[in-house]
Amino acid sequence: MQLGLIGLGKMGGNMAERIRRAGHEVVGYDRAPGKRDVDSLPALVEALAAPRVVWVMVPSGEPTRETVKELAGLLEPGDVIVDGGNSKYTDDQVHDVLCREQGVGYVDAGVSGGVWGLENGYALMVGGTAEDVAKVQPVFDALKPPAPTDESGQPIGGDAGFVHAGPVGAGHFSKMVHNGIEYAMMQAYGEGYELLEAVDLIEDVPGVIKSWTQGTVIRSWLLDLLVRALEEDPALDRVRGYAEDSGEGRWTVEQAIENAVPMPTIAASLFARFSSRQEDSPTMKAVAALRNQFGGHAVRAVEQAEAERPA
């Protein structure tokens, strides 16, 4: 089949390559001239035969909103737009209404796999009508990981790596929760690493973490990646302890509050990322000042803290 793909960065470019390897035609558009097959969105639409499927892979928020709005005005009834970025599920519901007014279908696809997806495949969580999802299914089949097989080579596990999660919004909601869990898992691995580093008893911290990748209940691809990072930089000296959040963790916690679902672990991992960005915590300044006020405990002046800070 044909697919129009908007956004050919690290993720989109690899996805385009994987889809082409499966025998499909991809017409790509990107703002960077060196990557694109056509020079504009109208040219992209013109290059595709109806019914068209156009996959949007651009940053979430306003860039996605603007792209979907322009596409909805260019496409024809029966065509389908897929948002494969990290949009908030409520944006999907707004986009669906906009597209339906033009007779255009809309599918939201939460995509996980990062830079490794080209070779390993992508986990796909999609939302939309059965009819619209079916129009995109050959692309989903090309992108998803190969099904695991038994000893005789027969596939097992059904659609591992792909799920039609529900109506529009369900795909990105599922990906949002996935990323919230990811926050918590990374935080747990990070805390375990710090404790191992903090004691003199453990002489081979990278070796201990690598030993966990086989036969243990905490093995995972994330743990494999931590091993890889420690092989490249055993003490993580080249990395600053500063972690951004891309939005999904916040949205997960917001939904937990909205639905009265306790999520202490995911919430704590999100707040830990906020703490990582503080050079000098106002909270802990207040704590230090209070200890001094009620107990006469010593406080470190700014000048003293600066003098003791490692070079």
Active-site positions? 175, 182
Return the number of other C-beta atoms located less than 10 Å from residue 238's C-beta.
8
Tokens of 168: 């529009």
Do 53 and 2 meet the contact criterion of CB atoms below 8 Å apart? yes
Give the Cα separation of 294 and 73 in Å (integer).
Answer: 66
**Alpha carbon distance 225, 43 (integer Å):** 40
Rounded CA-CA distance 299/289 in Å is 7
Give the count of beta carbons closer than 10 Å to the beta carbon of residue 45.
Answer: 22
Q: Are 27 and 5 in contact (CB under 8 A)?
A: yes
